[in-house]
Amino acid sequence: MEFVQLKCPNCNADLRVENNLDSFYCQYCGTKILVQGQDRAAVLSKGIVNIMDKYNEIKKDEYERKREAKKENGKLTLIICIVCGIGAALCFLVSYLLMSGIL
């Protein structure tokens, strides 16, 4: 990664900027600075990379939401199974007690 040395036109601070940026903000005063001299292909390539980065971020977030939903569904299924198991055990116990004449 190559850096270009520039001065902020507003506060005159020394700035180090990556050579593939077409604009950035001064880290000292916040002034937006446009970098001249990039060819069209470099700017378009950077735009495509930014779009792909955003797409990948969205897909990752979607994957995490689906994973959390599956985890919650798994917990719900376990609770239902436990409740059904307890109900079946109670039915068996009541049936046994009725057949034994205890109830």
Q: What is the mean pLDDT of residues 21-43?
A: 74
pLDDT at 23 over 60: yes
pLDDT at 21 over 90: no
pLDDT at 19 over 80: no
- Rounded CA-CA distance 7/5 in Å is 7
Q: pLDDT value at position 97? A: 92
Rounded (5°) CA angle 17-22-28: 45
pLDDT at 11 over 80: yes
Max Cα distance, the chain (Å): 97
